[in-house]
Structure 1
Amino acid sequence: MTEADGLLGDAAPGAADPSAAPGGLLDVLGVAAVVLNAEGRISLWSPQAEELFGYTAGEALGRSAIYLLIEEQHREQVTSLFAQVMAGCGAWAGVFPVRHKDGSTRLAEFRNMRLEDEHGHLYALGIASDRATLQRVERDLALSMRLVSQSPMGLAVMDTDLRYVLVNPALERINGLPAEQHLGRRVGEVLSFLDADATESAMRRVLADGVPRLNQFTTGRTAADPDTEHAWRVSFYRLEDASGQVIGLATSVVDVTEQLQAAAAAVRTRRRLALIADASARIGTSLDLEVTARELADIVVPEFADIVAVDVLDSVLGGTQPHDDGDTASFRALAVKTAYPTPAVRAADPVGELASYDATRLVTQSARSARPVLVSRVRESDLARIARDAEAATLLKEAGLHSYLAVPLIARGEVLGVLDLKRARNQQPFDHDDQVLAVELAARAAVSIDNARWYQRQRRAVLTLQRHLLPSEPAHRPGLEIAYRYQPAAATDEAGGDWFDVIPLPGEQTALVVGDVMGSGINAAATMGQLRIAARTLAALGLEPDAVLAQLDDIAVGLDGAMATCVFAVYDPHLLRCRMATAGHLPPVLTRPGHVPELLDLPTGAPLGVGGVPFETIEFHLGISDELVLYTDGLVETRDQDIDARLQALTDLLSNPRRPLEETCDLLLGALRHRDDHDDVALLIARTRHMQSGHEP
């Protein structure tokens, strides 16, 4: 610890003039002055002496000091010491027991020296103080000095002109400057990173009003550690002497960088945990690749990155094994998002387009190595490895890209693609902790992307199988105009069981079939194919509808408990007669020109696969231009409406003025179906017409 010319630096630059008020140290010590003449009698007696020894001036003046103050056993020693001082042998200092007026004995510390007046008369000056008081002051001073010098807290004392007069070692270490470079200078002259005007203004307010300013927060870089941003809490409080006179300002400085970093780390940890929890809830809500990719992008922007791209290997999307020559990789961007408008968005690969990159590209390296690639601080030379071409590199530079992170999307041991992350406006570079978090997010998202990939693959397989099993183009039939539709369900596991068929029969008759296998997926599609083939075979035998259904019932029983509903109708265009039977199916709708559409009242029967239940054929007449509307329950059944209300909606739609059958199909599907419906639907509409002579078109 260093002081400048005394505790508060009277000789420091800007010190007060010689008439400044005295300090209070002597008052604290209670120094007494006593003058003895050559015979040892008391000639002068100060008020402090009266306070120290108990005798008034009147009681002490003119009396022998030895006999007044010294116990008998010490008088000879004191007389000898007095003689030495008076003989000019030097001053004497020491501690001696002194008798107080009250009869007690006290230790007093003396400083004695010889004085000589203008007449050559000799005197002895004694300066005394209570030893106990001196010891207390010495202890307090020593303790204070120890506390200041050994304190881990930076401490400084400044005079009333706000110049350093004392700096402890801790503050030297904090500021990276020795005490000598502080003393006599103002704060702004020593610590250039501070706002000196604001700091000195706060100090002057403390000097003026005496109200401490505690825990003022400030940050900066000092000579002690110029590469690291530090944070401190600084306090100012006024110093006063025993009489209340303002003598300066004390300041304490505590480096709170570690605490601040720990608090910031805790905040980051909470945010990361919240981000992971948010990702778990928001990613994978749909078995759609593009939606899942957008959900991932929405999670990381803007909380984690300024710019994000979700790039998936084209081989993954195509369902083929990747051709890995070690040099290139082909990607398709499924999602690109930015936190704000930026030229960087034009540098990203357009969503949906195929892009191939060689092994120098960081995204390729991440995919090939199945490891993250981190570039904490992007240099200009790095841009060529990040951007797809020179133009994109220029755009990224213009956008202020300064940190980059590529993380592979890995699910079930397979690399599906890469999560591409960039920071520009966010000034914090990606670090190891960010990499760990990005890997966790990518892992969670990759599972959802993989699920969506397999879902789409399975969906394509189911739809391919089902469309292969359905008639591609029903033949034109005599006396009938036919239109049909098939719409799969929104979900793969709910598609596959509905079918329709138009079967040519002898005598220009036509069988119309609509069925719905209970269950879904590939198994339902396969069962549907078997029942459809069986129905065509049985119809060709000329069996009545109820007999066909009975045979199909037996077949369904043999298919491991498969069950299905079905409506089977045979139309004879020469007799304008229709024979129909149903197996647990919803009633067809009959529309006649000039009449209200009606649901046919048919014996419903039991579904196919129940076994041993009889079916019944109903015969009815059809006029020219009458329409039969056959459908599966996916057209009318919903989870939130009563089936009777939905059937009424169907008949209401059919009561509108007649339109072409293709338009009628589109009308029914558009009005009754929703994009996310959970069941597939088969729709078949047949309108009777006049038989034409010769070849039927």
Structure 2
Amino acid sequence: MSRADQRAEPPEYPEARASGPSGLLDLLGVAAVLAEADGRIDMWSPQAEELFGYTREEAVGQYAAHLLLSPEHRETAVRLFAEVMVTGRGWAGSFPVRHKDGRSLLVEFRNMRLTDNLGDHYALGLATDRAVLQPLERKLALSSQLVAQAPIGLAVLDTELRYVAVNPALASMHGVSEAGHLGRSFREILPGEPFEAAENQLLEVLETGLPVVDRQVVGRTRADPDRDHAWAVSIYRLQDHGGNVLGIANVVVDVTDRYEAAREADRARRRLRLMADGSSRIGTTLEVERTAQELADVLVPDLADMVAVDVLDSVLRTGRPDIGEKPPLFRALAVKTAYPTDASDAIIAPGQLTTYHADHPAAHVLRTGQPLLIKHLDSGELGRVAADDAAAELLARAGVHTDMAVPLIARGQIIGVMGLARARNPEPFDENDLTLAWELASSAALSIDNAVLHQHIRSAAETLQRSLLPQPSPRRPGLEIAARYRPAQAFSEVGGDWYDVIPLSGDRTALAVGDVMGSGIPAATTMGRLRTATSTLAGLDLAPSRILSHLDRITQGLDPYIATCVYAVYDPHLRQLQVACAGHLPPVLVRADAPPELLELPTGTPLGVGGVPFETTTFDMVPGDQLVLYTDGLVETRDDPIDRRLGDLLRLLSPPHGSAEETCDWLLRRLRKPADHDDVALLIARAHPLGTPADGT
């Protein structure tokens, strides 16, 4: 009969499953001897043959005391045998026995009286070699002590993953008594979601027999339901000596301290990385909105799920906070969320103005100058961090559970507030998070304040620049004129580019374009002085080269500034153009019957260098021709060679594009980029016959 047939379940008792032998008795080699009431051996097991050396034929019918005992031990043995047979009480102990080969064995006995159906008594003796039993007893005692006293959690589960045995350490980890484990399944004791994967691991080991060693599991048990613990889990399949699967051995070591230390080290590395990112990514420009957005981008998602940056509107308007404004008015500058969320609709959108109620974290921070940390937000407290009840509902729906408000402080004054929140990230903000956010906010606040200051200075410079530029009439005798000035973008300063259109005697017109090297209010002021000087000198009716010589001497007195300039005079009667250049890019002459060309002029040196004479060059300019004067901001870029850009300018002017006004807009639209770092002055004059309606004369 096969082993499978031997282990078949009785149909009437499906739960009483037969199984193979455990092997323990085989290891002990337990011998069985049955003796009659007078002490003669009646039955002799194979194990008895192996233990004592006598065959069944040699032993059966013999008196056990004479066969197995030395003369000095027989009296004691007969007395003990008689007590068992008379009283019916069993006897257990060790007794020296004589082996067939003559050597003495110390044998562990269990003797008991048996009674058959006729009332006759027999003695059953179970015996094993003490030398075999003692090591097993020591191992069992050691195992029992280790299981009971070790701080390591130990459990045995059967093939259905029901607990068969647990030690006190594991019971303490689970928060369930040892008795409370027995017969209950793994998931009944550990129902949390993190343990689903652990259950699958148990099943896999049960199926494959491949052990799992030091697999980390993080979760919460009944012993500490409010805090995550970490365990290093090892799993082994249990089998007997015959290969029968008995179940699972589970070894569990609490490594929460190591886990939390690793998490803290990871948080420290993250904080250092965020600080490094903040240093490199925040304040890359002098744009207020962009700097605020850079701050938000650094913090999301590594520190917060959502961030909003608000600045006092008075700071943006005047450059300083209005401490008397009640309630203070904020302008939202940046918002960032880690993922699409309903909470986005609860945050004031960038560009909008808002005020906050007195209990709002932003108001608290503005009053105290200190950051505010709210570790746990319940549904009743969400109204505190929300603008109104509708916003509080949106925050609740998004799962917001922790919040921080951090002041933006620059030069000792609060200029705004940054709000941070978590929803999907289950960890509440802590003091370390607050410290990190405050450090980044402090750095960003200075950059924001610098950007605000720069914008005010730039606005003043641009206002000055525009006020110093003329508003030329679109019509001069024999000319149609159009001019444009475009400042550099928000992150650059206003430069010293200028243009001028000056009426001269005899229907002539002076045309000038120049560029003061520098930026800001000083450059704009220098530009105004040069333009005034140019206008004054033009009235002396000098040649263009003489005008530039006088401007050169004037500019030398404006150290350290130098400037480039093109000065031209157009005579509609002679249909001639006289031009002189001081280190400036050459003008373009667009003829009605020929391709556009860069005028070949002696370049000259910039104004302010001194010591180099300038030359005047004369060109024909007939009705239909068009002169284009410009500063380098129109054609120079950081990425393209100047020759290529000048070629682009010529291609864009061929063929001419309508009026002078239309040509100005066309060139700026095609050559000017939003992020260009230089300002542009552009002056276009188109020749017309004298006396035509286009003259305006």
Q: TM-score, normalised by structure 2?
A: 0.80
What pairs up with 1:280-295 in 2 under 5 angstroms? 282-295=281-294
- Kept in 1: contact 2:362–2:405 (CA 8 A): yes
Q: Which amino acid in structure 2 is aligned with residue 564 of structure 1? A: A
Q: Rate the CA distance shift 1:331–1:414 in 2: closer, same or farther, 3 A.
A: same
- Kept in 1: contact 2:588–2:599 (CA 8 A): yes
- Kept in 2: contact 1:86–1:124 (CA 8 A): no
Secondary structure in 2 aligned to 1:547? helix
Deviations 1:546-580 (A, max 9, x none): 22222222233333353322222345566666544
TM-superposed CA distance for 1:99, in Å, is 3.5
Secondary structure in 1 aligned to 2:550? helix
- Kept in 1: contact 2:489–2:677 (CA 8 A): yes
What pairs up with 1:502-521 in 2 under 5 angstroms? 502-505=501-504, 510-521=509-520
Deviations 1:348-394 (A, max 9, x none): 22321222234322122234444432333323332332222333334
Corresponding residue number in structure 2 for 1:254? 252
TM-superposed CA distance for 1:56, in Å, is 3.3
TM-superposed CA distance for 1:135, in Å, is 0.8
What pairs up with 1:293-312 in 2 under 5 angstroms? 293-301=292-300, 304-312=303-311
Does residue 565 in structure 1 map to residue 564 in structure 2?
yes
Corresponding residue number in structure 2 for 1:79? 75
Q: Rate the CA distance shift 1:664–1:205 in 2: closer, same or farther, 3 A.
A: closer
Q: Rate the CA distance shift 1:298–1:84 in 2: closer, same or farther, 3 A.
A: closer
- Kept in 1: contact 2:283–2:291 (CA 8 A): yes
Secondary structure in 1 aligned to 2:566? strand
TM-superposed CA distance for 1:332, in Å, is 0.7
Corresponding residue number in structure 2 for 1:488? 487
- Kept in 2: contact 1:406–1:421 (CA 8 A): yes
- Kept in 1: contact 2:170–2:252 (CA 8 A): no
TM-superposed CA distance for 1:531, in Å, is 2.5
How high is the sequence identity, in percent, across the aligned residues? 55
TM-superposed CA distance for 1:532, in Å, is 2.5
Q: Rate the CA distance shift 1:257–1:66 in 2: closer, same or farther, 3 A.
A: closer
Corresponding residue number in structure 2 for 1:617? 616
* Structure 2: runs of 5 or more not aligned: 1-12
- Kept in 2: contact 1:85–1:114 (CA 8 A): no
TM-superposed CA distance for 1:333, in Å, is 0.8
Q: Which amino acid in structure 2 is aligned with residue 328 of structure 1? A: P
What pairs up with 1:58-97 in 2 under 5 angstroms? 58-60=57-59, 69-70=68-69, 75-76=71-72, 78-80=74-76, 82-83=78-79, 86=82, 94-97=93-96
- Kept in 2: contact 1:86–1:114 (CA 8 A): no
Q: Distance in 2 between matches of 1:58 and 1:658?
A: 130
Q: Which amino acid in structure 2 is aligned with residue 665 of structure 1? A: C
Corresponding residue number in structure 2 for 1:675? 674
Corresponding residue number in structure 2 for 1:685? 684
Corresponding residue number in structure 1 for 2:375? 376
Q: Distance in 1 between matches of 2:622 and 2:417?
A: 64
What pairs up with 1:88-107 in 2 under 5 angstroms? 94-107=93-106
Q: Which moved more, 1:265-274 or 1:294-303?
A: 265-274
Corresponding residue number in structure 2 for 1:663? 662
Q: Distance in 1 between matches of 2:113 and 2:398?
A: 87
Corresponding residue number in structure 1 for 2:403? 404
What pairs up with 1:16-415 in 2 under 5 angstroms? 16=16, 24-33=23-32, 45-60=44-59, 69-70=68-69, 75-76=71-72, 78-80=74-76, 82-83=78-79, 86=82, 94-111=93-110, 127-157=126-156, 164-183=163-182, 211=209, 214=212, 221-228=220-227, 248-252=246-250, 254=252, 258=256, 282-301=281-300, 304-325=303-324, 328-411=327-410, 413-415=412-414
Secondary structure in 1 aligned to 2:636? coil
Secondary structure in 2 aligned to 1:609? coil
Q: Distance in 2 between matches of 1:292 and 1:321?
A: 18
Deviations 1:576-621 (A, max 9, x none): 6654432223333345555555444433322222322122334566
Q: Distance in 1 between matches of 2:513 and 2:359?
A: 58
Secondary structure in 2 aligned to 1:329? coil
Corresponding residue number in structure 2 for 1:7? none
TM-superposed CA distance for 1:305, in Å, is 4.2
- Kept in 2: contact 1:239–1:250 (CA 8 A): yes
Deviations 1:491-518 (A, max 9, x none): 6656422222233456665433222223
Q: Rate the CA distance shift 1:343–1:511 in 2: closer, same or farther, 3 A.
A: same
Q: Distance in 1 between matches of 2:189 and 2:309?
A: 51
TM-superposed CA distance for 1:444, in Å, is 5.1
Secondary structure in 1 aligned to 2:387? coil
Secondary structure in 1 aligned to 2:603? coil
Q: Which amino acid in structure 2 is aligned with residue 608 of structure 1? A: L
Q: Which moved more, 1:426-435 or 1:400-409?
A: 426-435
Q: Rate the CA distance shift 1:349–1:113 in 2: closer, same or farther, 3 A.
A: closer
TM-superposed CA distance for 1:457, in Å, is 3.2
Q: Distance in 2 between matches of 1:239 and 1:80?
A: 45
Q: CA RMSD in A?
A: 4.6
Q: Distance in 2 between matches of 1:166 and 1:57?
A: 42
Q: Rate the CA distance shift 1:154–1:541 in 2: closer, same or farther, 3 A.
A: same
Q: Rate the CA distance shift 1:147–1:614 in 2: closer, same or farther, 3 A.
A: same
Q: Distance in 1 between matches of 2:54 and 2:129?
A: 15
Deviations 1:188-212 (A, max 9, x none): 76666699999999989988x6846
Q: Distance in 1 between matches of 2:243 and 2:446?
A: 74
Q: Which amino acid in structure 2 is aligned with residue 352 of structure 1? A: G
- Kept in 1: contact 2:409–2:445 (CA 8 A): yes
TM-superposed CA distance for 1:290, in Å, is 2.3
Q: Which moved more, 1:101-110 or 1:254-263?
A: 254-263
Q: TM-score, normalised by structure 1?
A: 0.80
Q: Distance in 2 between matches of 1:200 and 1:464?
A: 73
Q: Which moved more, 1:292-301 or 1:381-390?
A: 292-301
- Kept in 1: contact 2:499–2:514 (CA 8 A): yes
Secondary structure in 2 aligned to 1:614? coil
Corresponding residue number in structure 2 for 1:461? 460
Secondary structure in 2 aligned to 1:103? coil
Q: Distance in 1 between matches of 2:315 and 2:296?
A: 19
Corresponding residue number in structure 2 for 1:9? none
- Kept in 1: contact 2:194–2:217 (CA 8 A): no
- Kept in 1: contact 2:517–2:523 (CA 8 A): yes
- Kept in 1: contact 2:153–2:169 (CA 8 A): yes
TM-superposed CA distance for 1:138, in Å, is 1.0
Name the count of aligned residue pairs.
678
- Kept in 2: contact 1:310–1:417 (CA 8 A): yes
